[in-house]
Chain A
């Protein structure tokens, strides 16, 4: 059964600090891994998409890593801002990579405190 596990479930850090969110998956055959940011009461917004051959991808203060051998990914947030408070969802795509082959994690709920 395809699964995506995220940790921690929730995290509170002070504004300006860095943090790293983890994602472990057991999805096969692997196509790509995505990180989304979901603000409360809103739909998810894509941060990064990584394929098998990509180890690191950055989007501003967000840097995602992927280790396809250990089936792990991380999302590192640098110099956190209050607007970073949200849920961060790891999504792994199987088979042809289309939306019907997506497995969603439960997300990490991140709170940035001033």
Chain B
């Protein structure tokens, strides 16, 4: 149980375009999901907390207008990278759990590799 999926797994886009990444909890409902970014050989960096039915909470230094988050249902959160640039190329990972944001356990999605040309 507690499976988190992401789509797409890989995306290549031109500079200036927008890209949407989906994060789904397949067998549970998640009021809160988390979005991370990971550069090669670096730690996962928390970007934002996605809250179902309300605005996302962004970490310091993360532009909310560039990284749009929509948590429209209890099983789906989307991250849209707007006007993507080559420096946005990274590995984006989401996580969630069935027990709420204070749970000790987090289940991560398989990640989405974004390459901006």
> What residues make up the interface of A, taking CB atoms closer than 8 Å to B?
4, 31-32, 34, 36, 41-46, 49, 51, 89, 93, 96-100, 102, 104-107, 109
Count, A-B residue pairs, CB within 8 A: 64
B111 touches A42 (CB 8 A): yes
In the complex, how many residues of chain B place their beta carbon closer than 8 angstroms to a beta carbon of chain A?
A: 28
Contacts of A106 in B (CB 8 A): 41-43
Given contacts A89-B44, A104-B43, contact A99 B108 (CB under 8 A): no
Interface hub of A43, A98, A102, A104 (most chain B Cβ within 10 A): A43
- 11 CB contacts below 8 A, A to B, read A4-B43, A31-B104, A32-B104, A43-B108, A44-B93, A98-B101, A99-B101, A100-B101, A104-B44, A105-B43, A109-B41
Asked whether A107 lies within 8 Å of B43 as measured between CB atoms, the reply is yes
A98 to B34, CA, bound (A): 11
B contact residues around A96 at 8 Å (CB): 102
Within 8 A of A (CB), among B27-51: 32, 34, 41-46, 49
Task: Specify which chain B residues have a CB less than 8 angstroms from the CB of A93 in the assembled complex.
Answer: 104
B106 touches A99 (CB 8 A): yes
Whole-angstrom distance between the Cβ of A53 and the nearest chain B Cβ: 13
